Structure 1
Amino acid sequence: MSLKQTLCVYELIDCADVKGEDIVALFQSFPAIQATSTTVKDAKGQSDFIRIVIPGSQGKSQGKNAPTMGIIGRLGGIGARPSRIGVVSDADGAIAAITTALKLAKMHEKGDVLKGDVIITTHICPNAPTRPHSPVDFMDSPLEDETMNINEAIVEADAILSVDTTKGNRLINHKGYALSPTVKEGYILPVSEDLIRLMEWSSGQKAVTFPLSIQDITPYGNGLHHINSIMQPSVSTSAPVVGVAICSETVVPGCSTGASHEVDIATTVKFMIEVAKEFGEGACTFYDVEQFKLLTSLYGNMTHFQASGSSSSNK
């Protein structure tokens, strides 16, 4: 179970001046776990980026070759102070990512060491801005989009789960979490059957998925409408990326407070841990390698969708 760790992380970040070092301190009692915080600034603002490495028994960190699972907690900010008091709904991605790391650290300490490495990144900003968006306002990023992508990237990852609050839409009318199709190098691929299986096993419910459009997997800042930032990690990697959307039955703004649901976050964490277990064992795939080879041989390279594109004035 992961509810205890979820509550621990939520209480820690429910603070007007929480910093990245406060998250790092959670892992000080786990000598095998590497946790760091880096403050990053640009022309727009600043945030503290967290990186946590849970080494696997056969992982690359040990000089071996078990695949590495990456988990990115996507969000604009954990708070929108001074316009909002308290933890905002958008914080769920960070809470889920950090909670997953904390639970894996506890497991590692107790002898349940995964085969592959798990690397988790997110960022901590208690005073992020908001911006208009339809149907509800978005939490905005405290940094430029390119800065965010660079600092949350997990270059070692062989596959990535991007977990993000995804409640400000009318596409996912479900309370809990939902999975996206796999995205790889500008292609939207089928939903992974292995991930569906693990979702149903860990939740005890039928799997829930959500649709993506091409514009959802393009970089922010190009003027196109995106469901939210959940698929932004896919623009800066060749690894397969799947969005894990923490969602609700109703449309909830990312900047709303009192809208995080601890049990839903804990259920999401359980799923990501099960994926990390099986992925490191080679028992979970995000896409069909042979089908992807055939797809690219038939229709070519689609990595231009990972770039910003060109405006009509440049054509």
Structure 2
Amino acid sequence: MTLKQTLTVIDALDNAYVNGEKVKELFNLYPDVKVEVNTVTGQQGSTDFIKILIPGNEGKTAGGVAPTFGIVGRLGGIGARPSRIGLVSDADGAVAAIASALKLADMQVKGDALKGDVYVTTHICPDAPTLPHEPVDFMDSPVDILTMNEYEVLPEMDFVLSIDTTKGNRVINHKGVAISPTVKEGYILRVSEDLLRIMEMTTGQLPVTYPITMQDITPYGNDIYHINSILQPSVATDSPVIGLAITAQSAVPGCGTGASHETDIALAARFAIEVAKETTNGTCQFYDKDEFEKIIGLYGSMKILQTMGKEAIH
């Protein structure tokens, strides 16, 4: 399962000296896995972006045609040093994404490679700033959201699963994980039946979903309220995006420490892996393509919601 990988990643990231190169070392035993680290400096410090490729047997990197799956570990930072000591709640998205990659890499060497390629992206910053937010404070980031999307949302990704700690709200009153409706090109579509089925299977419980609004799928920086950054990848791609939220019953600050629950993170990673298996072999779809084309024909494009608005366009 994924608990072993989750604990390994938590142990590596819960460290004031961790960086992207130390995360890359976790994959030294997997020769077919490719890991890239890019250090990017912003106005409030620097962070290390990580891109991990686990190639599939029939993936596009091998000349095949199997779909490519993307897992984005979305967060502001894994730590808020020096104001907070230790791993913050906001780190859960990075932990889940890297644990997913580690498990997929281990599966591959044991003969269980997926059909399609899987890209896993996130970033590592142990000393990120914090950000005031209602009802509880968030983590901020050394770099802006456009930079995050540039390094984390790749053109190769045919499907995007964005994993983010989503505990700083009063909307999701459930501890564990929850999925959003599918977002594509400015449209909030129905919740994927395939993902509901996979969630039932991986959790052993009824599936949990959460509401999102038009505000949530617009870009950060437009001075509009967002539940968090979980659906920010949707502004940077035409591929369908689903937000996998790691959740709590109470409102927990993203900069809170001692608030990460290993079993919930492992559950998120396990769900991500099962979705990766099924999307790359064609048995899971994020949205109904025919219905989407009908919606476009009836109501036109909503891509303006992927931009900063009319003033920015003009």
- The TM tier, using the shorter chain, reads over 0.9
RMSD over aligned Cα atoms: 1.2
- Aligned: 1:181 with 2:196: no
For 1:17 and 1:184, the matched residues in 2 are separated by: 38
User: What is the percent sequence identity of the aligned residues?
Assistant: 60
The equivalent residue for 2:212 is: 212
Kept in 2, the 8 Å contact 1:178–1:244? The answer is yes
Aligned residue for 1:229, secondary structure, equals coil
- Aligned: 1:105 with 2:98: no
What residue identity is the alignment partner of 1:16? A
What residue identity is the alignment partner of 1:119? Y
For 1:85 and 1:108, the matched residues in 2 are separated by: 36
Kept in 1, the 8 Å contact 2:21–2:37? The answer is yes
The equivalent residue for 2:224 is: 224
The equivalent residue for 1:252 is: 252
The equivalent residue for 1:86 is: 86
Cα deviation for residue 311 of structure 1 reads 5.3
Cα deviation for residue 221 of structure 1 reads 0.5
The equivalent residue for 2:163 is: 163
Q: Mean alpha-carbon deviation: is it higher for 41-50 or for 139-148?
A: 41-50
The equivalent residue for 1:96 is: 96
Cα deviation for residue 206 of structure 1 reads 0.3
- Aligned: 1:279 with 2:279: yes
For 1:170 and 1:157, the matched residues in 2 are separated by: 32
- Aligned: 1:55 with 2:59: no
For each residue in 1:105-129, what CA deviation from the matched residue of structure 2 results, as whole angstroms up to 9, or x when unmatched? 0000100010011000000000011
- Aligned: 1:190 with 2:190: yes
For 2:311 and 2:212, the matched residues in 1 are separated by: 23
For 2:247 and 2:19, the matched residues in 1 are separated by: 26
Aligned residue for 2:244, secondary structure, equals strand
Q: Mean alpha-carbon deviation: is it higher for 150-159 or for 256-265?
A: 150-159
Aligned residue for 2:258, secondary structure, equals coil
For 2:107 and 2:228, the matched residues in 1 are separated by: 32
For 2:188 and 2:301, the matched residues in 1 are separated by: 13
What residue identity is the alignment partner of 1:49? F
Cα deviation for residue 44 of structure 1 reads 3.8
Kept in 2, the 8 Å contact 1:116–1:281? The answer is yes
What residue identity is the alignment partner of 1:170? R
Cα deviation for residue 45 of structure 1 reads 2.6
For 1:68 and 1:257, the matched residues in 2 are separated by: 35
Cα deviation for residue 90 of structure 1 reads 0.1
The equivalent residue for 1:264 is: 264
The equivalent residue for 1:24 is: 24
Matched residue count: 314
Aligned residue for 1:26, secondary structure, equals helix
Structure 1 residues 136 and 311, CA gap change in structure 2 (3 angstroms): farther
Kept in 2, the 8 Å contact 1:90–1:254? The answer is yes
